[in-house]
Structure 1
Amino acid sequence: MQIIRKVPVKEILTESSRARLREKFEQRSQQLDQECRQLAFEQKKLERKPGVSKQEVERRFSKEIGRRKDQLRWLEYQRKQLDILPDESEIETDEVEALINVEEGDYWNDVIQERQIVIKDGKVIRAR
């Protein structure tokens, strides 16, 4: 049997990885900001429609906008960490899903143990 498990991806900081991560965080931040503005526009458009509950529209849209603002705060935190952490430090940059084989007789603790992928300058150096 196979199960799907989330695995964190960590990056070892170097000068080139810092620059690439700053750019990635900035692009993602701009995208989330644009999505927030678009959602606010769509919310106002829907609220003006007759027969639509303003409270329901506001509740749904504020939930989505809030989710994106949380992601923006997380990106800001990661950006600050990028400036603070010394070279060769690990920073979590992503999360992927992995298929894990589970067979009868396997030790459950071995199956559920924490796994992670470590990258340095775009190259996988450890998959633990």
Structure 2
Amino acid sequence: MKIIQTVIVKQILTENSKSSLLESFQQKQQQLKKELEQLKFELKKFDKSVKQNKVTINNQYHKEMTNREEKMKLLDFQISQIHMLPLGSELKEKEVQALVEVSPGDNWNEIMQAKTIIVKEGIIQEIR
């Protein structure tokens, strides 16, 4: 019988992976800034044109803007953490699903232990 199990994929921090992570975080920040500016523009445009139900829609815009600002703060924090991490650190990148073969007589506790795949520069280094 086969079961599905969650496997954690960790990335070893190298100069290349560090720079690509920082670049991806900065791209996400730029995208959020563009979205925030677009929301501000739409809010101003909306304020001038609509007279009724203004408060509700105004609150929605502010909620969306606050959401983007919080995401930007989180990205700032992640960037600062990446700068502080030493090379060789293991970062959790994602979780994937794997099929695991189980049969009578297998040690259930051993099968259910969390499995981890260690990746360095896109190449699997170790499976734990």
Alignment of 1:1-128 (within 5 A): 10-93=10-93, 95=94, 98=97, 110=112, 118-125=118-125
Supply the distance in 2 between the matched residues of 1:72 and 1:48 (Cα, whole angstroms).
Answer: 28
Structure 1 position 72, deviation (Å): 0.7
Supply the distance in 2 between the matched residues of 1:87 and 1:29 (Cα, whole angstroms).
Answer: 24
Q: Is the 8 A contact 1:9 1:92 kept in 2?
A: yes
1:96–1:63 CA distance, 2 compared to 1 (3 A): farther
Aligned-partner residue type, residue 48 of structure 1: K
**How does the TM-score come out when normalised to structure 1?**
0.69
Q: Is the 8 A contact 1:11 1:120 kept in 2?
A: yes
Supply the distance in 2 between the matched residues of 1:79 and 1:54 (Cα, whole angstroms).
Answer: 38
**How does the TM-score come out when normalised to structure 2?**
0.69
Which stretch of the first structure deviates more once superposed, 61-70 or 47-56? 47-56
SS in 2 for 1:79: helix
Structure 1 unmatched runs, 5+: 1-5, 102-106
Supply the distance in 2 between the matched residues of 1:100 and 1:76 (Cα, whole angstroms).
Answer: 37
Q: Is the 8 A contact 1:47 1:53 kept in 2?
A: no
1:9–1:28 CA distance, 2 compared to 1 (3 A): farther
Structure number with greater Rg is 2
CA RMSD of superposed structures (Å) = 3.2
SS in 2 for 1:88: coil
SS in 2 for 1:86: coil
Structure 1 position 12, deviation (Å): 1.8
2:3 aligned residue = none
1:124–1:65 CA distance, 2 compared to 1 (3 A): farther
Structure 2 unmatched runs, 5+: 1-5, 101-107
1:30–1:86 CA distance, 2 compared to 1 (3 A): same
1:3 aligned residue = none
Aligned-partner residue type, residue 25 of structure 1: F
Supply the distance in 2 between the matched residues of 1:48 and 1:100 (Cα, whole angstroms).
Answer: 57
